[in-house]
Structure 1
Amino acid sequence: MLKAIDISSLQPHPDLDGVDVVLIKASEGRTYANPLRDEQEKAARGEGKQVGWYHFLWPSNIQAQAQYFVHCADPKPGDVLACDWETTTAHTAATCAEKDAFLKAVKKLCPHLRVMLYCNLDFWDRHDTTSECGDGLWIADPGAAAGKPRVKHPWVIHQYGIRNYTDVDVCNFATVAAWKDWAGVPEPAPRPVPGPPSSKPYVPPPFPAGLAPGKSKPSAKGLQKALRAAGFLQITDADLSDMYGPRTEGGVGRFFDAHSEFRTKGKPHDTAIGPRGWACLFRLAYGHK
């Protein structure tokens, strides 16, 4: 299992030695932002760690909190987002319905990122009524051995204790590569290799009119293959589908993150590729062949 830590402003200089994943507090409620988050992110990425962000949820104003969280975290492709659901300093707590609404709101804002739930055993066993945890459960159970939380529900991260004033966790993945595959960390886009001087320039196929999210006609298989060839989508031949569904949208979202000039202006979470983006993607995927 991978080793992780979760940190806030209480850990200004966390020890990253031997850590695979760093989960950083981004925000709380609608007004608090971790003042050290940029510095902590820079340190984690500088040492090649996988990065996640969490938001401490308060009751009410759920949509505003979701927007504030995404703004403060400013997540990069492949980052993981989490809702921290527990008792506040005012001895209040968001309801289960508010927790579910927050997870849904964040997912809508960041459809190509993993969105998960953090809570302790008491909240999971006594406050939760839906078992809704987004893309995965991050369970706090410091009374159990690492990797053996006392829950029947599948879990992704187990917070099992504290070391050097820092919460320590394990992630239910055998390798960093497996985490990257789950989180959707994009592979570096391959650099086109120039062909011989006499070779003809590559011409992308025509953009299929009507290709759009949520549609299966025209087929999205060609788009999926190009995203895979360009390093923006991990998919097998068996999983190729005519449907332009969430998986395809995630690949397009990662392409847009690398080539934002093709994203529709005013739509930061656009996942509909157009003729210009289509042509660029196919040149990246096949132009060097």
Structure 2
Amino acid sequence: MTLNGIDVSSYQSTTYSTAGLSFVMVKATEGTSYVNPRHADQIAHGRAASLVVGHYHFVRPGSMSAQASYFLQHAAAKAGDILALDWEDTGVPGTDKDTFIKDLQAAAPHNRVLLYCNRDFWLNRDHSSFAGDGLWIADPDAPAGRPRIQHAWVFHQYSEAGGIDHDVADFASKAALQTWTAKGTPKPAYEPFPGTAWFTIGRRSPIVAAMHDRLVAVGCDHYQSSANKDVIGSGDVASYEAWQRKYNTEHHKGWTGDALKWPPGKETWDALHVPNV
């Protein structure tokens, strides 16, 4: 299940519709010289509708620490609000993106800090896979909740309609989102890596079936059929190795040989996002 939300800036009304929404993300600042003049009212409108609110900063080339401070000063976030870095400027390298997020996490320990970027930035400009507390991925050409990446994500901006950007959050309920933003429990409930020794041919488990479904979903389907998909077999081996090759290429890992072979490793398993069963 996912939750519906939107993101807004000065281009949108301060009285945007909140019907059917669980959260809103509002632009606060850009660089060190711009503040969204509607930010405070847009945040207040979201709070009045009991939405989870987030604030985001459009980063520009320059001092990351100065921009993080400027953002926090003008966002005036409360504990439990979300803070996000909007990374769209090609003049800001990935190392600066990482610095901004780390500075923000240190300065705002009671808030979740996210990275927002599109697929091009994530797949081709990012080389650390660092997204703070979670990734907010923009992929408007993908169905809601199915962004075309393999890394775990928290929010997906999937369309623009009626002058509003629409998003979904990967939580089972609004209460779960609120618990996460309050930093009460880690998110999400995905299957932890069971260890390389667990992946033996013939093992039967609902985790295997969930892995099967995720491998198909990410385009690494080398199965002959879905019969007995809860049992590890040759199709799982071929499909998972295809996934490791894909992950290796998209994240510029430079792995070769046995690093691309069965059994699964923790990094690719965590990135596969196998739901907890």
- Taking structure 2 as the reference length, what is the TM-score of the superposition? 0.65
Query: What SS is found at the alignment partner of 2:179?
Result: helix
Q: Distance in 2 between matches of 1:174 and 1:112?
A: 22
SS of aligned partner of 1:26: strand
2:66 equivalent in structure 1: 64
Structure-1 separation of matches of 2:117 and 2:31: 16
Could you tell me how far apart the structure 2 residues matched to 1:113 and 1:165 are? 29
Match of 1:132 in 2: 130
Q: Given the alignment of the two structures, is residue 10 of structure 1 paired with residue 11 of structure 2, yes or no?
A: yes
Task: State the Cα deviation string for residues 182-237 of structure 1 (Å, max 9, x = none).
Answer: 1117xxxxxxxxxxxxxxxxxxxxxxxxxxxxxxxxxxxxxxxxxxxxxxx669xx
Unaligned runs of 5+ in 1: 186-232, 236-289
Alpha-carbon distance in structure 2 between the residues aligned to 1:22 and 1:121:
21
Structure 1 CA distance, aligned partners of 2:178 and 2:119?
A: 27
1:42-70 deviation line (CA, Å, top 9, x unaligned): 11111111100100001121100000001
Give the deviation of 1:71 after TM superposition: 0.8
Alpha carbons 1:14, 1:166 under 8 Å: kept: no
- 1:78 aligned partner: 80
Deviations, residues 116-159 of structure 1 (Å, cap 9, x unaligned): 10000000011000000000000000010000000100000000
Counterpart residue identity of residue 41, structure 2: E
Q: Normalized against structure 1, the TM-score is what?
A: 0.62
Aligned: 1:176 with 2:179? no
Instruction: Tell me the SS of whatever aligns to 1:86.
Output: coil
User: Using a 3 Å threshold, how does the CA distance of structure 1 residues 102 and 234 change in structure 2: closer, same or farther?
Assistant: closer
Listed one character per residue, the Cα deviations across residues 60-116 of structure 1 (whole Å, up to 9, x for unaligned) are 2110000000111111111010000013xxxx4310000000000111110121001
Alignment RMSD: 1.3
Q: 2:202 corresponds to which residue? A: none
In structure 2, C-alpha distance between the alignment counterparts of 1:113 and 1:4, rounded to whole Å: 19
- Give the partner amino acid of 2:45: A
- Residues 85 and 93, structure 1, Cα contact 8 Å, conserved in 2: no
Sequence identity percentage: 45
Q: Distance in 2 between matches of 1:135 and 1:116?
A: 6
Secondary structure of residue in 2 paired with 1:43: helix
- Which stretches in structure 2 are left out of the alignment for 5+ residues? 187-277
Q: Could you tell me how far apart the structure 2 residues matched to 1:108 and 1:134 are?
A: 11
3-state SS of paired residue (1:138): strand
Q: Structure 2 counterpart of 1:57, which letter?
A: V
Residues matched between the structures, number? 184
Deviation at 1:170, TM superposition (A): 0.2
SS of residue paired to 2:17: coil
The one of 28, 31, 37 aligned to 1:29? 31
Report deviation, 1:165: 0.4
15, 28, 40: which one pairs with 1:38? 40
The aligned counterpart of 1:204 is none
